[in-house]
Amino acid sequence: MATAQTEIKVTVEIAAEHGITRDEYARIQKILGRDPNITELGIFSVMWSEHCSYKSSKVHLKRLPTKGKLVVQGPGENAGVVDIGDGLVAAFKIESHNHPSYVEPFQGATTGVGGILRDIFTMGARPIAVLDSLRFGEIVASNTTSEEDAAKNRRVVDGVVRGVGSYGNCFGVPTVGGEVVFEPCYAQNPLVNALALGIARKEEIFLAKAKGIGNPVIYVGAKTGRDGIHGASLLASAEFTEKSQQKRPNVQVGDPFMEKLLLEACLEAMKTGAVVAIQDMGAAGLTCSTCEMASRGGTGIEIDLAKVPQRETGMTPYEIMLSESQERMLLVAEKGRGVEVLAVFKKWGLDATVVGDVTEGGLLVVKDHGKVTAKIPAHPLAEEGPVYNRPMAEPTRRKQTEQDWFAFAAEGTDLTANFTKLLATPTIASKQWITEQCDSMVRTNTLAGPAASDAAVVRIKETKRALALATDGNGRWCQLNPKVGAMHAVAEAARNVATSGARPIAATNCLNFGSPEKPEVMWQFSEVIDGLGEACVALGTPITGGNVSFYNETLGKSIYPTPTIGILGILEDATKVLKVAFRNEGDVIVLLDGSNSSKAGPQAPPRAGKRREFSSSEYSKTIGGIVAGEPPAIELGAEKWVIDCLVALAAEGTLQSAHDVSDGGVAVTLAESCFATKDLGASVRLPENAAAEYALFGESGARVVVSVAPEKLAAVRNTARQYGVGAHEIGKVTHDNVLRIEYKGHTVASAPVPTLRDAWARALEHNLKIQ
Amino acid sequence: MKFGVLVFPGSNCDHDAFHAIGHVLQKPVEFIWHQSEELHNCDAIILPGGFSYGDYLRTGAIARFSPVMKSLEKFANGGGLVLGICNGFQILLEAGLLPGAMMRNSGLRFICKHVHIRVEDTNTPFTGAAEQGQILTIPIAHSDGNYTCDETELKDLEKHHQVLFRYTTPGGKDDAAGNPNGSIANIAGICNRARNVAGLMPHPERAVEEVLDSNDGLVIFKSMIAALVGAARATA
């Protein structure tokens, strides 16, 4: 199909091979008033693919909150844009590159990072940070994963890590954070979600609207080759089968050096004032950039493919229009000033050619050596694709009983061994082996790189401010309860941002799901949207963009529904970053708890039984081999109070450290705050409210462990009270390098910090080295 | 006194070097594009880190043919101060302005982390303000930092005190445990026989402010500034 010639007569069957249904084909005939030729069919097929058209998600995405005081640009452009003060704006967005990263891990991952970076500098913003949210199958053999599969997963991890690292490293943007999660469901469908952040002056933001009849349309960057044809339609918009490895030619190949040149050249060209609009050629390449720019600008575009720089000879119009060769941009320049723009690209040694111009009448006209090969109304092509309100059905599940849930150990049991094992489980273990392969410091703005704080924090040199970013998502919880799981994803990302001291202001989302043609998946999707919407409204973080990735399934089995949320925050005073590490012996350790609040908030949701709720935890999975029950109930009011309280405490400068409670509960939080120090330990007695395992390893939200110098304790208590947040004094930072946790009069976990740190720090490297 | 920061296609620590000199140390500094035929009357030149020409062929192998390198060679041979950081070090090796060559890290992976380096010699314009044996905490970020040279070259380097920095453990021991990339004799940085051209793999420009977790890199730039001030006085 990739070598199809224009002479081929298009039929419903050929359309079906392109993933175009009978109804969709009829719609194409209606728009054109005739049958499409093969090039036109190709163009429609990529623009109307799930990946590009959002045809299954559109009706639901409408329910997301996208407006806010600080939102300059919501969804619909290359990236979301928010006002960050001092005349500056931040552009940020998260996107998936899942399927390519399984078929060809290294190239799939690099081009994922490359694509999102282009989305940012297309807006005129210089990228200043990248976060990678990665999910893989289990890397250690177990009763759910064979050694052979574990080895396969390790190879995927290795390729993806090298891929994301190599692109950012060479491009010169710091990879400052993200997450890495391991679950069996991602074995043959890893998730590679890359988030990029850039900044620009507010008045210098560029949009992708082709304006000005007669303005030249300029192609810049890498030459067009045959790589990535149908990447968006056949690779991203279909589920995997045994034959998926054959789709390797559909994966694009990245060249970060070319992209670095493209970045510098584009920003320099924009400074000339001669650039009217610009869009990157990502998914669906030249097709998408031409018709979307024309559609948004209410104009048409006419190009001649003979002028497009080509890497190979004999490419058909079909191939050129559908190529997803990387590191290419399309821009519209002001009439008569094209020369200025071309000169900049020449300086950087890049191809730049006028390939056509902006026209009246709203038509996308594609010529080949002057002969028309496609003529399609741009707006219907870009915006009036099919929209489906697909059937939804709640999955029927066996009713769970007591037998399904985690059984707590007897009172007084020593949990040290389990605790050590939990610290070494890949999802909780130190990610240093991965993060060290990525440059986290280039541009010298990184105030808190990977794991230093709960959020990554980068300063903005010309101001006093810094930006904080965190990504979160718990697929296991979303599988058990999509709505509550999605709310937790937002709450945790926001809490992480606040734990660094910054105020969360906006969100971006990457929604990874199975096939939308399955009613159960659509139900999950709809529930997740409701959860995201509710949480984003409650926490004041409108969604400014992102993407939807459906068809994450292999051989008919879907991944866990996995919304990945990225939240951006502003830290007014960059010198007040809060970090995870304990600081001084004798500091008081305080557990801030929003749900244990003095405020009379909205009625707390009824809690599932503690055993039931605990069965969804990382501890239950790792120690008990049980994944069941429900995610912890969530109180958005409590989350908001904790966030506000943290922002206030950070501004007051009364905290020594802060680290939120998440995977692995309070015990893991305490351990990580010790690990980040040279030789400090902690001695802690936890509030008594349940079984010891629940108290140590339970994962309910709205909680943060902070340390406070004794003379500041009263001030911290006072502020916590003002925000209606409980502040429980639970222990002290010690100098004996031992972590000791007491519960109900027993020492339930106690070990030298170096022993625990060793288990935690070496686990990932140890497991990944076995190839 | 004026510093120049060379910019090759793919340089990406150019702005960081500029920031360290211009903003943190408040000294005049400007960028010099790789196609420039001259060095804008600068008194010291920094070749910054990054991936010049995408590291294609071999690190630094293409950049050494940039037009600006001719002037740089002349400048260096005339005694001008030249500091190559990371990719800049690699370019100086390829250009033959420093002895030896660079191989892939022994672990075959990119590594970004803080390392410890010991100042081995203070009798240079790059280390004059440091103390002999001082341990500096400075980040590295590279895939190809495994410095090597033949036996004779190594003997020469040692004999003429051209090894400026060696990787050590936090405690200052120069053994394999402190060496992140497998470099010969734990070498992190060297200078030429005339002591006016130096290269190192760690990034001193990333360690110039407390908020960046270390300001140990300042001593290198301060040494250069002191040397330039001294030279200016001597000629006045």
Lookup result for tokens 């906006």: A506
> In the prediction, which pLDDT does B233 show?
87
Query: What residue ranges do the domains of chain B occupy?
Result: 3-235
Is A444's CB within 8 Å of B205's CB?
A: yes
- Average pLDDT score over residue span A146-174: 96
- Average pLDDT score over residue span A277-294: 92
Q: What is B3-235's CATH number?
A: 3.40.50.880
Tell which residue, B171, B163, B58, B62, has the closest CA to residue B121. B163
Lookup result for tokens 């001294």: B230
Which pLDDT band holds residue A251 (cuts at 50, 70, 90)? confident
What does the alpha-carbon distance between residue A564 and residue A329 come to, in Å, rounded to a whole number?
Answer: 28
Is A444's CB within 8 Å of B211's CB?
A: no
In B, minimum Cα distance to A452 occurs at B213
At A410, give phi and psi (nearest 5°). -65, 150
Which pLDDT band holds residue A282 (cuts at 50, 70, 90)? confident
Q: Could you read off the pLDDT of A156-167 as tens digits, one per residue?
A: 999 999 999 999
Q: Could you read off the pLDDT of B50-78 as tens digits, one per residue?
A: 999 999 989 999 999 999 999 999 999 99
The residue from B42, B116, B149, B205 that is catalytic is B205
Q: Could you read off the pLDDT of A614-639 as tens digits, one per residue?
A: 999 999 999 999 999 999 999 999 99
Residue A548 CB burial class (10 angstroms; 0-12, 13-18, ≥19): buried
Residues of A in contact with B212 (CB under 8 A): 441, 444, 446-447
> Mean pLDDT of all residues in chain A?
93
What does the alpha-carbon distance between residue A332 and residue A206 come to, in Å, rounded to a whole number?
Answer: 11
Is B212's CB within 8 Å of A441's CB?
A: yes
Residue A313 CB burial class (10 angstroms; 0-12, 13-18, ≥19): exposed
The residue from A18, A97, A99, A488 that is catalytic is A97
Is A459's CB within 8 Å of B15's CB?
A: no
List residues in chain A touching B: CB distance below 8 A.
162, 165-166, 169-172, 255-258, 260-261, 348-349, 435-444, 446-447, 459, 461, 574-575
What does the alpha-carbon distance between residue A667 and residue A417 come to, in Å, rounded to a whole number?
Answer: 13
In B, minimum Cα distance to A438 occurs at B112
Q: How many CB pairs under 8 A join A and B?
A: 82
Of the CATH numbers 3.40.50.720, 3.20.20.60, 3.20.20.140, 3.90.650.10, which one belongs to the domain with range A402-414+578-771? 3.90.650.10
Rounded to the nearest 10 degrees, the angle between the axes of helix A636-652 and helix A519-539 is 40
Tell which residue, A176, A175, A178, has the closest CA to residue A165. A175
Predicted TM-score of the model (pTM): 0.95
What does the alpha-carbon distance between residue B130 and residue B119 come to, in Å, rounded to a whole number?
Answer: 7
Residue A457 has pLDDT above 80, yes or no: yes
Query: What residue ranges do the domains of chain A occupy?
Result: 1-64+207-385, 67-205+430-574, 402-414+578-771
Is A441's CB within 8 Å of B112's CB?
A: yes
In B, minimum Cα distance to A440 occurs at B112
ipTM given for this complex: 0.97
Tell which residue, A751, A760, A743, A757, has the closest CA to residue A413. A743
- Average pLDDT score over residue span A428-456: 97
3-state secondary structure of B110: coil
| Fold match, A67-205+430-574 / A402-414+578-771 | no
Residue A19 has pLDDT above 60, yes or no: yes
Q: CB neighbours (10 Å) of residue A603?
A: 8
Q: Could you read off the pLDDT of A78-119 as tens digits, one per residue?
A: 899 999 999 999 999 999 999 999 999 999 999 999 999 999
3-state secondary structure A325-346: CCCEEEEEECCCCHHHHHHHHH
Of the CATH numbers 3.40.630.40, 1.10.3720.10, 3.40.50.300, 3.90.650.10, which one belongs to the domain with range A1-64+207-385? 3.90.650.10
Fold of A67-205+430-574: 60s Ribosomal Protein L30; Chain: A; (3.30.1330)
| Buried/exposed B120-143: b ≥16 CB within 10 Å, e otherwise | bbbebbbbbbbeeebbbbbbbbbb
Residues A528 and A561: beta-carbon distance below 8 Å: yes
What does the alpha-carbon distance between residue A150 and residue A141 come to, in Å, rounded to a whole number?
Answer: 6
Residue A468 has pLDDT above 60, yes or no: yes
What does the alpha-carbon distance between residue A552 and residue A395 come to, in Å, rounded to a whole number?
Answer: 18
Residues of A in contact with B139 (CB under 8 A): 441
Residues A288 and A281: beta-carbon distance below 8 Å: yes
Residue A195 has pLDDT above 70, yes or no: yes
Lookup result for tokens 């929003």: A594
What does the alpha-carbon distance between residue A352 and residue A275 come to, in Å, rounded to a whole number?
Answer: 13
Is A444's CB within 8 Å of B12's CB?
A: no
Residues A645 and A723: beta-carbon distance below 8 Å: yes
Rounded to the nearest 10 degrees, the angle between the axes of helix A256-271 and helix A338-347 is 140
Give the one of A172, A437, A439 whose C-beta lies nearest to B109's C-beta. A437
Determine whether B120 is an active site residue: no
How large a percentage of chain B has pLDDT more than 70? 100
Range among A321-330, A688-697, B181-190 rated most confident: B181-190
> In the prediction, which pLDDT does A6 show?
46
Q: Determine the residue among A348, A430, A444 to mutate to test chain B binding: the one whose Cβ has the most chain B Cβ atoms within 10 Å.
A: A444
Residues of A in contact with B112 (CB under 8 A): 169, 435-441
Residues of B in contact with A260 (CB under 8 A): 9-10, 12, 51, 54
Determine whether B205 is an active site residue: yes
Q: What's the CA angle centered on A68, arms A63 and A72, to 5 degrees?
A: 110
Residues of A in contact with B113 (CB under 8 A): 436
The residue from B13, B86, B149, B191 that is catalytic is B86
Residue B111 has pLDDT above 70, yes or no: yes
Which pLDDT band holds residue B99 (cuts at 50, 70, 90)? very high
Q: Could you read off the pLDDT of A364-415 as tens digits, one per residue?
A: 999 999 999 999 999 999 998 999 999 999 998 888 888 899 999 999 999 9
What does the alpha-carbon distance between residue B36 and residue B75 come to, in Å, rounded to a whole number?
Answer: 14
